[in-house]
Chain A
């Protein structure tokens, strides 16, 4: 177990280095962003001064190593546009996106797994209904759902706030109210994905020989389903949920835009449209760390659930 952890952490470190290095190399290939920063009226000296200020006069390898060294100490540099340390900006934005993604994942995992199991076990019209709804859920773009929700529940029926995010420190009810619409908007697609995958995983388990043998022993149906079938379908469901969580972390960007929520997503899209490289790199680092952490947790959980993986 410890060997696995160490190996995975080393791999994660390597991945971070590779990706940030690639991004650095790419930035060095594109035209100098300094002109955009200082404006068209700036003199050549001002331009040069800015370049020196940003450290762009140094070769890319040197710049990268410097960045890496600082990043290892928790310093991700300073935004080229606002001058605010990247770490501070990210720490301010992270809780917002995290609450969005975690809540949406929880909701969609509960609903998706329930519907998926029901569809596989009941069959018939329940199954067909779940499948149709899942197809719809896949097809409808999150930002459209977000817009429709705003139109219905914030404009026509003024039940919920149309925009903005209220931190939990200002009252849990307000916090929840500000999250209901965004969470709904991004959860619909993942409910569909989780339900479809859970359905096929449960159906696969139900067709296994050992389920027939367990039935031949006269075990009560509830025990068979909740103990044996659920346990064997769980690794698949868990993997789907984790993929959805990662997707939701990214998908939050679009929904944050609609609801004017100042999360990590809007930070990423704003800073990438103005080529604020230090901020973009910071967001990439956070994103990769989230993905790796989620994958590690899921691998450990699957290993705990499936003895065949455990002993390998």
Chain B
């Protein structure tokens, strides 16, 4: 609030509105006359001592009427706003939260109201019930409520889709409580922005109604004063000034205040700044692209700091780093495509001898698309949804190569065939929303190489894709690169992609370049501790939970296991193909530091890196597990999702899935997107409707959702969505405890402190808000929440896939540790085979709603029986150039590439 009033516009507006309110409240004291006092000589009199603003058409004092008029205006507008808010917010929240028939009915009614010609209906209302301020403005508010309804409904629907609502359901909270705790606060801030606009509009409508003489008969109001001015416009034109200005200024003040509130809640998106110019550094002779001391800042924050890179013709350079390392900003700066306030503050970019920084857009456009191609991360959002694929594809060809549309079409079709699209003509005619993500990425690659560029810049080109599609897209990039001799600059966080694709690697961290090395040397002997730590943290380099001789004796495995100790500098265990050596190597990788802010320790500014983030020692389980009755039994479970449209049959997402899970066990559930793995987890949690089949827990059918909370809990994928960002951690953790109700406040506090301690967070974390925490810290909070009721099963749905590798390793270690201490069982859902193998006792592989293979973790991940599992396994990238090459060869032999 104080910050708000520091803006001059907002302060001025607030002061003016305050004055209007005072005028309205104290009109009896301030006004020289009553509103209706008639002074006949003052009829249409110009301003004078007795009448500072003159007299109106009936000889009444204008100043007095203006002061009294503020009353009707404010009361009327407030009334209309209040009615619209009460009706719109209530209906919108219920419709948005409960959906189904509540939503159908409410939306029908409100869309009906939206289709009314408002003013005409108001007039009809007057005709029927007669004029009057209160009833008119209440009716106006009612007519305005659909706009609030739509806003609140949309906001509620968005909130409803957030994982923190699911988490609250899993914690056993009632719907009413969920609405009160989570939905209301978000709705409130959306409505706060809208309410002033509504209030301003209501003032205008109120004035219009009074102007037409439909308001309170005979009352002093600004609208009625304008009416009087209109009647006397030829004889006393000055009369319109005061009421008109009063209305306009009040509405303006309200709107400005509303805008200030909005800006305060959501800072506006900064817009693009002009590129700066500076003296270009000398370009390196043989390189195609040379980046020298490039520094990029967003406002005061430097995101890229003196980075120098060179890409030689025909070379594949990998630019690697964790999120926030500045790798994407570096390439966008090189392309002149920096978003928002980003600008190059120092350094230069030279392409084929020509300086690019400071070049006008027109000159850049002769290079972009023609000589430099660009492929971005998210395939779907990078195609213009309004144009057919073909039309987007031929655009650069027509612009740069000057081909006719027909020639361009031929070229585009052959490009589509080249990138492995089976039916080029159909895809050419399709709209982006009609094609899959993998196809979209192929289309984007086709567009990027359509004019035979010398350099292709690919920013995380496969991150959004499934494992098998990723392998194919990388195959495509590799073969295009070889065929055309293009240089490729590939930005990625995935060392597997680097091992698969690159000749040289540059590692970035916190905006700086850490090291640049040929790919073989980087993986074999990283020069920098940070690089070594990155390698060590990769789940592929971690041991499975139960190391097996058969595995470790394989030379490839031993190499990897050994290398996970490389963080300590020594190549402990390298080449030592024994279990002892391998395990020794793992020991040296060190226990993760469960410090106050664990992943921050990894990213510590201070000089050398603490090579934490390695993996915990594998848990060795003595003897076979007791063959007790399973904890969770899923039997022939089917789940259908209803489809849009009445005639479309429902979509079967799970097809007769059966599995069992014993106490204390971890079952990994692997599959690509759309395989049904998340739905299976949600069905067990009671978040997805079961069509047929059964879920039994501890020998009994699962309890209803709210009673299930004590038995089954969840950790969700996206820690940014699974915690309400506005809530204090304490309030988040208290949520599951609310269900049991036997906790006193002191008990709850104690329990929360011990939970925070359990997940390695300091006790003070309870007072912080979720949005202040990093991804890893949030995921620790999510784990603490899952533990609060002491469940026997936790569904972990991709719990680490949103995290950087170093953080990933720490969170996985925490999960392992908790299981050791509490004996909780995990259903661990992931797309990442390496992660699943690391943490699971047994693994189930899902594809198209079925479990295609289930068995011992080692067996499934090293010697799969099912062809799909085999393909999945061989498609997974390994952060080791030699082994990756071998795997690729094996995969291509078994599943020939389409390109």
Contact = CB atoms under 8 A, between A and B. Distances in A.
Interface of A: 15, 18-19, 23, 26-27, 29-30, 123, 135-136, 138-144, 147-148, 150-151, 155, 162, 203, 207-210, 212-221, 223, 228, 231-232, 246-247, 249-251, 253-254, 257-258, 268-269, 271-273, 275-277, 280-281, 283-284, 287-288, 290-292, 295, 305-308, 311-312
B215 to A, nearest CB: 12
B462 to A, nearest CB: 16
B212 A254 contact: yes
B431 interface: yes
A38 B204 CA distance: 37
Given A143-B207, A217-B396, A273-B213, 4 more contacts: A135-B255, A150-B233, A254-B212, A268-B120
Interface string B322-353: 00000000001001010100000000000000
Nearest to A292: B115
Contacts of B123: 253, 268-269, 272, 280, 283
Contact of A155 (B128, B237, B252, B332): B237
B115 A291 contact: yes
Contacts of A23: 124, 128
Contacts of B243: 144
Interface in B204-246: 204, 207-208, 211-214, 226, 229-230, 233-234, 237, 240, 243-244
Contact of B204 (A136, A141, A221): A141
B116 interface: yes
A238 B234 CA distance: 40
A218 B130 CA distance: 64
A272 B214 CA distance: 9
B378 interface: yes
Size class of B's contact patch? 35 or more
B433 A246 contact: no
B252 A135 contact: yes
A254 B244 contact: no
A308 B368 contact: no
Given A218-B366, A218-B396, A148 B116 contact: no
B121 interface: yes
Given A219-B395, A254-B208, A273 B387 contact: no
Given A135-B252, A218-B400, A295-B115, A207 B269 contact: yes
Contacts of B433: 307-308, 311
A155 B127 contact: no
A139 B240 contact: no
A269 B212 CA distance: 7
A148 B240 contact: yes
25 contacts: A29-B128, A136-B248, A139-B252, A140-B247, A141-B247, A143-B226, A144-B226, A155-B234, A155-B237, A162-B233, A209-B376, A214-B395, A219-B365, A231-B387, A250-B117, A269-B123, A271-B127, A273-B213, A275-B127, A283-B124, A287-B120, A295-B115, A306-B385, A308-B431, A312-B644
A36 to B, nearest CB: 11
B712 interface: no
B386 A208 contact: no
Given A144-B248, A253-B123, A271-B127, A212 B376 contact: yes
A26 B121 CA distance: 12
A213 B373 CA distance: 10
Nearest to A229: B384
A267 to B, nearest CB: 10
A216 B116 CA distance: 46
A174 B487 CA distance: 70
A39 to B, nearest CB: 19
Nearest to A209: B381
A21 to B, nearest CB: 13
A215 B233 CA distance: 56
A306 B386 contact: yes
A219 B337 CA distance: 13
A30 B365 contact: no
Contact of A143 (B208, B332, B644): B208
A222 B780 CA distance: 50
B207 A30 contact: no
B894 to A, nearest CB: 34
Contacts of A217: 368-369, 374, 395-396, 399, 447-448
A253 B259 CA distance: 29
Nearest to A259: B230
Given A144-B226, A212-B376, A216-B374, A276 B117 contact: no
- Ranked 8 nearest A-B pairs via Cβ: A250-B119, A287-B117, A218-B369, A144-B244, A217-B369, A272-B127, A216-B374, A139-B252
A210 B381 contact: yes
Given A147-B226, A288-B116, A305 B248 contact: no
B123 to A, nearest CB: 4
A74 B129 CA distance: 27
Contacts of B211: 141, 143, 254, 257
A249 B385 contact: no
B382 interface: yes
Contact of B337 (A215, A246, A290, A305): A215
B212 A257 contact: yes
Interface string B414-458: 000000000000000001011000000000100110000000000
Listed residue (B127, B362, B374) with the most chain A CB atoms within 10 angstroms of its CB? B127
Given A147-B230, A151-B233, A284-B124, A232 B367 contact: no
A123 B270 CA distance: 10
Listed residue (A141, A148, A220, A221) with the most chain B CB atoms within 10 angstroms of its CB? A141
A210 B383 contact: yes
B727 interface: no
A19 B121 CA distance: 9
Listed residue (B204, B269, B272, B385) with the most chain A CB atoms within 10 angstroms of its CB? B204
A260 B19 CA distance: 36
Given A147-B233, A216-B374, A291 B116 contact: yes
Contacts of A306: 385-386
B370 interface: yes
Contact of A216 (B117, B244, B337, B395): B337
A151 B272 CA distance: 45
B230 A258 contact: yes
B386 A212 contact: no
Nearest to B399: A219
Listed residue (A218, A269, A271, A305) with the most chain B CB atoms within 10 angstroms of its CB? A218
A140 B447 CA distance: 50
Contacts of B385: 210, 232, 306-308
B200 A139 contact: yes
B327 to A, nearest CB: 16
Contacts of B229: 147
B266 interface: no
Contacts of B400: 218
Interface in B20-78: none
B369 A219 contact: yes
A248 B269 CA distance: 32
A18 B230 CA distance: 37
B384 A232 contact: yes
